[in-house]
Amino acid sequence: MSSPLLGFDLTTAASLLTGFAAMALMVALYAGLTVRDPMARRVKALNERREQLKAGITASTRKRAKLARQSQGVEQMRTVLANFRVLGDKQLKDTQRQLMQAGIRNKDAAVPVIFARVVAPVALGLVMAGGVYGLGWFGSYGPLSRYLFVAGSVALGYYGPHLFLRNRINKRSAAIRKALPDALDLLVICAEAGLTVDAAFHRVARELGKGAPELGDEFGLTAIELGFLTERRIAFENLAMRVDLDSVRGVVTTMIQTEKYGTPLASALRVLSAEYRHERMMRAEEKAARLPAIMTVPLILFILPVLFVVILGPATCNIVDTFATT
């Protein structure tokens, strides 16, 4: 008869561990076989942006009307919001800017986001109120706790879309900030090699495709806009609007000044690259300096008890055995 292990016999424990191992193997195989090219979706988005620019500049009136008819659901949401007088121009522009900063290029997506901010609090609040007061959910809790559940659901429905967008913006901005000094070094090399600004941005976007796809996506879109827009300054300003970083705005200001006054581009970008690389090193040193304070709580809660058990455990067992024999 097999001896028990943590309340299970050895056969059952071995079967459970084998099942977990097989499941982990299947998950690993699925993750390995379904790896997608990170550039495929971004190249598709850039091509769509190219077609939008072509449609806005050279397309006929019939083609523009066809593009407008493709967003009937968005127009219905827009009509509902306009009837309730909750769709303002400033709010729409702010939401579109946040979506672009989060990497979502479709301007029509701003209307569903605003619609979700209006509908989600009401829907979640009604569902939670019906469940709490009608169906008896959380009946063991007091009246104040049940009211807090309903109020929390309303707050979650209102702030949920905003928190989702802010989280995506922060992650994307952090990735772009980390890769910006290397991208500026590549721009310096391209400028010194004699490439034009359009070709330099295209080249850097291609080189950053897999290492820093977020920044490569932005540079690729800027290169496309440089080739299609009537004023090159607008393309650089769009880059500063899509990326909410002071460092990117500094690069944009430098590019606009070089275009306007004819100052050397390579030297200015080299200075910016050195400055941003120094800032990146300072941020890394700041994180390293905070590490001891951050590790104090896990050290006290998880590492020291185990260390005490390992060190004092054998001595305690020997003492107990000694007193037991006597």
Q: What is the pLDDT of residues 152-194, one digit of tens each?
A: 888 888 888 888 889 999 999 999 998 999 899 999 999 888 8
pLDDT at 6 over 60: no
Pick from 55, 47, 53, 48: nearest CA to 229: 53
Q: What is the mean pLDDT of residues 265-280?
A: 87
Helices H / strands E in the chain, number of each: 13, 2
Please give the pLDDT value at position 64: 53
Cβ contacts of 8 within 8 Å, gap of 6 or more: 16
Q: Are 237 and 259 in contact (CB under 8 A)?
A: no
pLDDT at 59 over 70: no
Q: What is the mean pLDDT of residues 297-307?
A: 84
Rounded to the nearest integer, the mean pLDDT of the chain is: 80
CA atoms within 13 A on the CB side of 285: 6
pLDDT at 65 over 60: no
- Round to whole Å and give the CA distance between 123 and 144: 21
Cβ contacts of 99 within 8 Å, gap of 6 or more: 105, 106, 107, 109, 110, 113, 165
φ/ψ bin of 244: left (φ > 0), alpha (ψ from -120 to 50), beta (otherwise): beta
Q: Are 11 and 19 in contact (CB under 8 A)?
A: no
Please give the pLDDT value at position 50: 63
- Round to whole Å and give the CA distance between 325 and 317: 12
Q: What is the mean pLDDT of residues 143-154?
A: 87
Q: Name the pLDDT band for 39 (thresholds 50, 70, 90).
A: low
Does the predicted model carry a pTM greater than 0.85? no
